[in-house]
Structure 1
Amino acid sequence: MSALTGMRLRGFVRTGRAVAPLIAALAALSILYGGGKAEAGEAYGVSALILFPVLAWQTKILLDVEPDVQRRLARVASGAAWREIVSGLLAAAVAGLGTIAVAMVVPWVLQGVEGDLSGVAIGLGAHLLALAPALALGGLACRAVTRTAGNGVAVLVSGSVLAIVLGLQGSPAPWLVPPLMATARFTTSGGSTATGLWLAAQAALWSAVALAAYARLRRDRA
């Protein structure tokens, strides 16, 4: 499985498909931090929210790199459907961590943040909280699940928009989406450790359900 994960990461990088989401992330971060300095925790909370659709898009691109026939052969060679599915998610997670590392460093290069290590730690937690839901959304939008490019884009865009709209204060169904907006509010206004852990638990539960749905669909749609 590690060999298959490495192969997918190499394919993602060598084909140049890693460039587009990286440019999108850098553009979004440049706009966010171009207006002056902000407290690290607050700025990183907004950054995590903005990068959520980029991370989901990056995941979709990585999972779509392989031709369909090669993906089916990889499943046969791995010996089990779950190995092929998990290897793709692991590759996407590694790529996502790379994007998060860029998001953590760029603000300091642009002199767009200030504060202490506690703010940086909160910001890192906000980005990591967004990663698992982004992997799930990107997986559900990949070609192996949606079959067509149009359906994939529809899933990706709809999921990203709903994550923001249903995450607003006063939303009738905030539980339908990962707590990205709530996390951004948490990093902006501050909150207790218990609140942060509760948000992390919510994100983990939502991601587990969405990833289980992805795994089920992928198992039936090689």
Structure 2
Amino acid sequence: MTPSDVPARRRRGPALIALARFQLAGYLRSLRFMQPLIPVLLIVVLVLKEWSNDPRHVDAATGSLGDAAVLTFLIGAWAARSLLDTQPDEQRALSITAAGHPVLSAAAGLLAAYTVALCLGLLLLAAPLLQCLSVGVPPTPMLAGVGLTALVAFSGTALGALTQRAIIPSPGYALPALLCGVTTALLLSLGPLAPLSVPMTGWLRAAHDGPSAFVQAFPGLALHLILWNTALTAVLFFLTRRPR
């Protein structure tokens, strides 16, 4: 690395943040955020209305943390694709030029999309957390629920990013690809090929088994999600820098 490379490396961090903020601002101005936000608010209202009907309050409250993670995965994938497709193609080309490298521009888009997915996931998690507090669930399972939501939000973001217009230009193929990807992830998690997918069945089973089972299972679930997220991010960056 030459001395001239050092200032360039130092500029990448601010450039990444600036590009992410730029994409977030465009997404908010377009009002596309209302598409995933409205279902999230409806789900929160339904959870608040129905949570006290189960006699096993503690186990039911802990189970709702796992349920919220499933919804976070689905809505995060949808929101990520919507945000990354907000930019017109010409504006995306200018962003790549400003970033100096397509991978840096892709990382900024991924950061912006993850920010939206995480906010939606935490909003979904608000009702289960209130439920857990109201029935006396210990703090550790609730912290595990927050950590699970943060990891799953990135999983959904990465999957949605792989179906953005920059990778799949045709909307006629991009939307079916997103639906196929989400469905495949759900189905794989149910069978012997579960290690290749998000551990959805694992976290649902652990969460519904009660606070202790959820806390014990969380480290393994977190490691599985980190590896899955890393693999999807690597694929995304490879496709981003691929000549077109």
Q: Normalization by structure 1: what TM-score?
A: 0.89
- Cα distance in 2, alignment partners of residues 31 and 221 from structure 1: 47
Structure 2: runs of 5+ lacking an equivalent: 1-15
Counting only pairs closer than 5 Å after superposition, residues 1-222 of structure 1 correspond to structure 2 as: 1-37=16-52, 38-39=57-58, 40-107=61-128, 114-116=135-137, 117-168=139-190, 171-190=191-210, 191=213, 193=215, 195-220=217-242
Residues 8 and 91 in structure 1, CA contact (< 8 A), matched pair in contact too: yes
Distance 1:7 1:45, change over 3 A: same
- Cα distance in 2, alignment partners of residues 2 and 126 from structure 1: 25
- Cα distance in 1, alignment partners of residues 109 and 51 from structure 2: 38
Give the secondary structure class of the aligned counterpart of 1:217.
helix
Q: Aligned letter for 2:100?
A: G
Distance 1:113 1:59, change over 3 A: farther
Distance 1:119 1:192, change over 3 A: closer
Q: CA deviation at 1:153?
A: 1.2
Residues 203 and 217 in structure 2, CA contact (< 8 A), matched pair in contact too: no
Structure 1: runs of 5+ lacking an equivalent: none
Q: Aligned letter for 1:145?
A: I
- Cα distance in 2, alignment partners of residues 9 and 74 from structure 1: 13
Q: CA deviation at 1:48?
A: 0.9
Q: Aligned letter for 2:192?
A: P
Flag the structure with larger Rg: 2
Q: Aligned letter for 1:180?
A: M
Distance 1:157 1:113, change over 3 A: farther
Q: CA deviation at 1:34?
A: 3.5
Distance 1:110 1:54, change over 3 A: same
Q: CA deviation at 1:81?
A: 1.6
Q: Aligned letter for 1:155?
A: A
Structural RMSD (CA): 2.3
Residues 28 and 50 in structure 1, CA contact (< 8 A), matched pair in contact too: no
Residues 144 and 221 in structure 1, CA contact (< 8 A), matched pair in contact too: no
Give the secondary structure class of the aligned counterpart of 1:2.
helix
- Cα distance in 1, alignment partners of residues 243 and 62 from structure 2: 41
Q: CA deviation at 1:86?
A: 0.6
- Cα distance in 1, alignment partners of residues 131 and 184 from structure 2: 31
- Cα distance in 2, alignment partners of residues 74 and 27 from structure 1: 35
Distance 1:21 1:121, change over 3 A: same
Give the secondary structure class of the aligned counterpart of 1:187.
helix
- Cα distance in 2, alignment partners of residues 216 and 113 from structure 1: 46
Match of 2:12 in 1: none
